[in-house]
Amino acid sequence: MRRLMKFLHTMGAIGMMGAMACLVVLLGMIPQPSVSLPLYAEMRAAMGAIVRYVFFPSLGLTLIAGLLAIAINRALHSAGWALAKLASGILVFEWGFAAVQGPMQEAAEEAARAVAGQIDPATLAPNFGTEQGAIWVMLGVATVNVILGVWRPRFTNLPD
């Protein structure tokens, strides 16, 4: 069971970090809506799909498998590195909703409404730099989680 949880946790992390890398690349290539509204809307739809079908399920798998791994392995209950991973994992989960999933899906919906003529394209206010920055921060925290899982630094063990 431990190996299964480790495998699922690792696969989830790969999917989550891969999705974030894709989003960073797409954000670097997306045109302003005033330049090409149809292409902007297509790219926003693609980013929304990446978030919905790759990022969010991978994030959930990573968190659930990590929590189950801690629950079934008593040695992890007092391992400082595992508790640090838990704390930063919760941060990644919360940030995933607030900085990635919500804004990406909202931007995709607004772009689709603009193409359909339901809203004025001038109301679209993309902030690609802020979105990229948020994803880079998440990638950094996720990388720290990977480092903690591989390196397993000897933080002070907590008493049982």
Neighbour count for residue 121 (Cβ, 10 Å): 16
Cα 97 versus chain centre, distance: 8
Is the per-residue pLDDT at 155 higher than 80?
A: no
117: CB partners within 8 A, 6+ apart: none
Q: Per-residue pLDDT tens for 79-93? A: 888 888 888 888 888
DSSP per position, the chain = -HHHHHHHHHHHHHHHHHHHHHHHHHHHHPPPTTT-HHHHHHHHHHHHHHIIIIIHHHHHHHHHHHHHHHHH-GGGGS-HHHHHHHHHHHHHHHHIIIIIIHHHHHHHHHHHHHHTTSS-GGG----HHHHHHHHHHHHHHHHHHHHHHHH---PPPPP-
Rounded to a whole number of angstroms, the distance between the first and last alpha carbons of the chain is: 23
Cα 134 versus chain centre, distance: 10
158 band by pLDDT with thresholds 50, 70 and 90 = low
Q: Per-residue pLDDT tens for 115-149? A: 999 999 988 988 888 899 999 999 999 999 888 88
Percent of the chain with pLDDT over 70: 96
